[in-house]
Amino acid sequence: MVQTIEKSLATFLEGDLGEVEEAIRKAAATEILPRFRQLAADEIVEKNGPHDLVTVADRLAEEQLTHALTALLPGSVVVGEEAVHADPSVLGALGGDAPVWIVDPVDGTRQFVHGDPGFATLVCLAHRGELLASWTYAPALDELAVARRGGGAVLNGIPLRSGSPEPGRELTVAISHYDFTTDEEKRVLATLLTDGVAPRPCGSAGLEYLAVARGALDALAFSWENAWDHAAGLLLVAEAGGASATVAGEPFRITGGNALPFSAARDEKTLGHILGLLASAG
C-alpha cells in the first residue's frame, strides 16, 4: 500500500500540477472573493480571542479544497487550519506515510475581515515531513506564486529570486505580531530593535514569505509554528534562493517541536545575522 501511494505521488509530481492551481482559484472564486468586504457580523467568529478570527469563507473554502485536492491525489490527506481547530488529532497526519496537503484557506483572516486585500490561500504538498510543492495565492491581488522542490519558484509565471540586501542599509524584518506573542517571546523578538534592523509586525504570513522570495523584504522572525502558516512559504523562499532555520540553527520541522523563534531570509548571511540577534536573548 505504501509503495502504491509513493508511486502515485511520484507520477503526480511529474505532471504540470495545473489542476491544483485550478482547484485553488475555484475555491477562492466561489467561497472567498464573493464574501470579501461583504461579510455579515454572524459570519465572523472569534476562535481564541478577538485577534484570532474565523469566517464562513475560511470553513467553506477549506472544505472545498479538501474534496478537490484529495480527489486529485488518491491516498492523500489534508491538514487544514480549521480541521485542526475542530480536531487537533488531525495534526498527526503530518508525520504519517500518506502525502499531506497543508491548507490555510484564508491566511490573514484579520485582513480579510477588515477589507484589506493582503490575505492569501496557502497550499503545500508534503510527504514524511519533506515539502514538495507549494502555492501562495492572493486572490484580491491576483498573484499566484508556485514552488517545486528542486524546480524553482515563479510568481504569475515569472521566476522568483530573493537576491541579497544592499550592503550598508537597514534590514527590513517582519516579526510575529505582538497580539499573538507571550511576554517571553516579546523579550526575544525585542533583540531585533537594534541598529541596522527595521522590524515591523507581520501581516499575512504567506504574503510576507512571498515578499522575502521576491526581494521586497529581507527577513522574517516568527514565534509560532503552525504548519499551515509556514509550509508553503518556507518552500517558496528556499526555491527562490533564500534560507531558513530555527534559533537553534536547525531546519524547521512541519511536524512541530521546533526551537523558537525561527527565521527565513533572502540569503544565508542575513539569516545568520537575524538568528544571532535572536539567540543573544539567552
The predicted-structure confidence for 214-259, as pLDDT tens digits, reads as follows 999 999 999 999 999 999 999 999 999 999 999 999 999 999 999 9
The span from the first CA to the last CA of the chain, in angstroms, equals 47
Instruction: Identify the CATH homologous superfamily for domain 2-159.
Output: Fructose-1,6-Bisphosphatase, subunit A, domain 1 (3.30.540.10)
Q: Which residues pair with 154 in a beta bridge?
A: 146, 159
From CA 235, how far away is CA 108, in angstroms rounded? 19
* CATH fold for domain 171-279: D-Maltodextrin-Binding Protein; domain 2 (3.40.190)
Query: Which residue, among 147, 127, 276, 256, has the nearest Cα to 206 in the 3D structure?
Result: 147
Which grid coordinates belong to 221? 522572525
At 245, list the grid cell.
Answer: 532555520
Provide, for the chain, the percentages of residues in helix, strand and coil under a 3-state DSSP scheme, each rounded to the nearest 5: 40, 25, 35
Cell of 157: 509565471
CA distances from 64 to 23, 29, 30, 42, 271 (A): 8, 11, 9, 21, 37
**Distance in angstroms (rounded) separating the CA atoms of residues 205 and 174:** 9
Mean of pLDDT over the chain: 93
**C-alpha Rg value of the chain to the nearest Å:** 18
Whether residue 52 is predicted with pLDDT greater than 90 in this model: the reply is no
261 class by beta-carbon count within 10 Å (0-12 exposed, 13-18 middle, 19+ buried): buried
Q: Hey, where are the domains in the chain?
A: 2-159, 171-279
Q: Residues 141-196: pLDDT tens digits?
A: 999 999 999 999 999 999 999 999 999 899 999 998 766 678 888 899 999 999 99
Which SS3 state, helix, strand or coil, does residue 146 take? Answer: strand
Answer yes or no: are the C-beta atoms of 279 and 249 closer than 8 Å. Answer: no
Q: Do domains 2-159 and 171-279 have the same CATH topology?
A: no
Mean pLDDT of 2-7: 72
For residues 198 and 111, give the distance between their C-alpha atoms in angstroms, rounded to a whole number. 22
Overall average pLDDT of the 107-117 stretch: 93
Coil/strand/helix, residue 235:
helix
